[in-house]
Structure 1
Amino acid sequence: MIRVGVIGIGRGLSFANGAKFVGMELVALCDNREDRLLEVGKQYNVATYTDYDKFLEHDLDAVILANFFHQHAPFAIKALEAGKHVMSETMACKTPAEGVALVRAVEKSGKIYVFAENYPYFAYNQEMRRLYQSGEIGEMQYGEGEYNHPMDDRTVNAISPGMNHWRNCIPSTYYCSHALAPIMFVTDTHPINVNALSIPPFEDDRKRLIVKMGDPGSVILCRMNNESVVRIMGIVMRGHSIWYRIHGTRGLMENLRTGNHGALRIVHEPWEMKEGEEPEKIYAPDFPYHAEEARQAGHGGGDFFTTYHFADAIRKNEYPYFDVYRGVEMAMVGIQAWRSCLNNGAPFEIPDFHKDSKRKEYENDNWSPFPEDSAPNQPPPSIKGWIKPSDEAIAYAHQVWKEIGYDEV
């Protein structure tokens, strides 16, 4: 049995609940909200810690990081140095320097690191990978991935307590892995450079009672290593969209935009169909394995499969598909795309951190838009600079924060 500890008792409880389904034993929880932590610890009958260093001293084999979006790399590095396997959610690193340090820490430790990107494990994305690997649509020439998730004003404020909360300061390109990772997973390609444009707040956006200081959306063009082009879009503009399309040299695959979004559409041109193929086929695929467990998990089954592959990698002592290199690569897409946005769409490379020469080039690059890193020459979270929320928005945000028990000092 793999003994695991989870940091973060909000999002992290999804992983705490799912540990038993993959042969892991939850033994410890860590969070800085002591009252809530003690309550949850009693519920799960596990040890609790507010001190991360003490948490790492607990008798555990692996750590799952579900803390704030942009704070994973330092926690991952500490866990690796303590001899723990690591599964890390969301952004693998917030700066290129952190990415270099994380790659080096994984290599030095010899431990398993999994980037817990869950969207590739939707049933239709796993089916797209199976079909693509079988040659169903040939080689990708163009792909599209969209993760656009708008929310009402109260919800936005409730999940972003504090003016400097990361959600209020994040650039529009940084939360890109949900859009990009499924395309990488299906096709086994990876980005080598990016061009991007950010979409600033329009008048209707500025009327909203939220304190977000970044832009509502962006479009990123990725040149992939097979010379194809992938467009990814997000993140909070009106019109919810989780959608993936791949144009290959022999056809097209996509999940449906309307109706059953979990259904898959396969298209072949009549003049080049093989025997048994159809011009258009639409069906709803199931998970390839562990379907019952996946259906009970969050994020369309993705939460089960990320933890499943983490446990499997530990047992086999084999690098997982979403290893540290792919995790850092996706973080670098967000970072370099933001550089592109601030330079009106100019191209920027996605460095290959397998190469020591590239690591040395970026090892001191601490470029960051987050308030705790504020300094001369650091970037703003919007192409319009630092957007000042209205007095009405600030007042409403504080009202919501008070209702949920958050008091900003």
Structure 2
Amino acid sequence: MAEKKVRVGVFGIGRGRMFAQQAAAMDGVELVAICDQREKAMRDFAAQYAGVTTYTEYDRFLEHDMDAVVLANYATEHAPAAIQAMRAGKHVQSENIAVKTMAEAVALVRAVEATGKIYMYAENCCYTNTVQEIRRLYSAGELGEFRYGEGEYVHPVSVDEKIRLSPTWDHWRNWLPATYYCTHAMGPLMYVSRTRPVQVTGFEVPYDFDDPTCTQTPKRSDTASIIMCRMDNGGYAKLLQGHLKCHLNWYRIYGNRGSAETLRHGDSASIRVRKEPWEKGEEEPVERVYRPEFPQFHHLASRTGHGGGDFFVVHEFIRAIRTGEPPYLDVYTGLQMSCVGILAHRSALNNNAPYEVPSFHDPEELKRWENDHLSPDPADPPEARIPASTLGEIEKSPEVRSRFEQRARELRPDCYE
């Protein structure tokens, strides 16, 4: 007897297109509903798939008969949407970022625990062929115990690309602090080592008054950030993320028996593994550089974006729904890596003072943070506001705003209809 299909709806057709395409193509999964405020674009996209219902209102979307919801909506609204979906009886997969505030993190944990629904954080960088291979080496004991790791996610853009990605004045990409988008750097280090951060110290490369991507757009946050994390096994991790001028995704793991890293230059789908001569086996080379295959579903994963990670986040979510077993990237792990960014920004604002990262399994820790609504979002109440930049409030002239809005209307007319 065939398994009942998992019926999935997708909220947001920007980044959500990938999730919709994966769901529609995956065995045992049925794409049944899509929700977006941009009605024409949504209907044009949905026309590719038979039997898909479209909605412009999230409340009505959640009334649809489906098992799971993928949240690819506005990034700083993921947590409230996730809580509402789980209370409506849906399993949830959430894109970056998981939460905007520490209070949202507490509310999200409590919603998962109260409803019993699957929640998965869609950190796709954990599932590239390179990171999965380093995880295999680590779990087999070839690298020893985790001592130090580095993760980098550096993503510069042109002025026009910046405007296309964040086409309104207060779009989240224009004010999100440089530490907040940290899980592409943090996630793979946690995934490989199965350690978690317990203390963070944040540093931010200031807003660049000589960079047109800053000065000709509404951007009011800093250029990049460096985060130092003390992990629960005593090891350390260093994260770099932001808009420095060298596009790069890169990871390195040091164990006490060897090291492994993705390649900075050349083939980004290959890794380098090194052991010292006195640590390796007799027939084992000191250094190996090779391109690993995915441990499973190679042909399917290799056709998807983000190094194959886009396939595996959907696959792992569906597997969790079918088995009832929480995925590795459950609510606790997702929040552990996400809140690194929130607390590292506070550290950067507070002369780089270290901040403890709570355990979201601990009810006492949840109580401590349940009323912490501090936020850099300009839409939030002034009494809860913190600066988006270590330089304080970045002022923009009326001329900059006028030129930006004119160009945004040209590049993204769908946002001004």
TM-score, normalization: structure 2? 0.95
Kindly indicate whether residue 132 of structure 2 is the aligned counterpart of residue 114 of structure 1: no
Distance of aligned partners of 1:167 and 1:23 in 2 relative to their CA distance in 1, 3 Å threshold: same
Specify which of 33, 41, 52 is matched with residue 38 of structure 2. Answer: 33
The secondary structure found in structure 1 opposite 2:382 is coil
CA separation of 1:258/1:407 partners in 2, compared to 1, >3 Å: closer, same or farther? closer
Alignment partner, residue 130 of structure 1: 136
Give the 3 Å change call, closer, same or farther, for CA 129–332 of structure 1 in structure 2: same
Please list every run of at least 4 consecutive aligned residues from structure 1 whose deviation after the TM superposition is greater than 6 angstroms: none
Matched, 1:368 2:368: no
Aligned to 1:158: 164
Does residue 75 of structure 2 align to residue 66 of structure 1? no
1:137-172 Cα deviation digits (max 9, x unpaired) = 111111000000001000001110111000001000
Alignment of 1:206-225 (within 5 A): 208-225=215-232
How do 1:237-386 residues align onto structure 2 when only pairs under 5 Å count? 237-386=244-393
Q: Distance in 1 between matches of 2:116 and 2:369?
A: 23
Moved more, 340-349 or 268-277: 268-277
The number of equivalent residue pairs is 409
Please tell me whether the aligned partners of residues 21 and 293 of structure 1 are also in contact (alpha carbons under 8 angstroms). Answer: no
Determine the structure 2 residue equivalent to 1:204.
210
Counterpart AA for 1:71: E
TM-fit CA distance, 1:123: 0.2
Q: Are 2:215 and 1:187 aligned?
A: no
Match of 1:231 among 228, 234, 238: 238
Q: Does 1:21 align with 2:26?
A: yes
Q: Tell me the residue number matched to 1:142.
A: 148
Alpha-carbon distance in structure 2 between the residues aligned to 1:162 and 1:115? 26
Whether the 8 Å CA contact 2:200–2:343 is kept in 1: the answer is yes
Distance 1:393 1:240 in 2: 26
**Unpaired stretches in structure 2, ≥5 consecutive residues:** none
CA distance in 2, matches of 1:64, 1:284: 31
Rounded Cα–Cα distance in structure 2 between residues aligned with 1:22 and 1:320: 19
Q: Distance in 2 between matches of 1:177 and 1:236?
A: 15
Aligned to 1:9: 13
Instruction: Assess if the C-alpha contact under 8 Å between 2:125 and 2:309 holds in 1.
Output: yes
Q: Report whether the alignment pairs 1:405 with 2:409.
A: no
Q: SS of 1:26's equivalent? A: strand
Identical residues among aligned pairs (%): 48
Corresponding residue to 2:104 among 94, 98, 120: 98
**More divergent stretch after superposition (381-390 vs 77-86):** 381-390
1:83 aligns with 2:89: yes
CA distance in 1, matches of 2:31, 2:210: 46
RMSD: 1.4
8 Å contact from structure 1 (residues 161, 406) kept in 2: no
Q: Tell me, what secondary structure is at the counterpart of 2:252? A: strand
Q: Is the 8 A contact 2:38 2:414 kept in 1?
A: no
Structure 1 residues 291-323: Cα deviation after superposition (integer angstroms, max 9, x where no partner): 111112111111110000000001101000100
Check 1:351–1:23 CA distance in 2 against 1; reply closer, same or farther (3 A cut): same
Q: Which amino acid aligns with 2:290?
A: Y
Bigger drift between 34-43 and 87-96 goes to 34-43
Gaps of 5+ in 1: none
Query: Partners of 2:110 and 2:384 in 1: how far apart?
Result: 27
1: CA distance, partners of 2:208 / 2:91: 44
Q: CA deviation at 1:276?
A: 2.7
Give the 3-state SS of the residue equivalent to 1:373 in structure 2. coil
Contact 1:22 1:308 in 2 (8 A): no
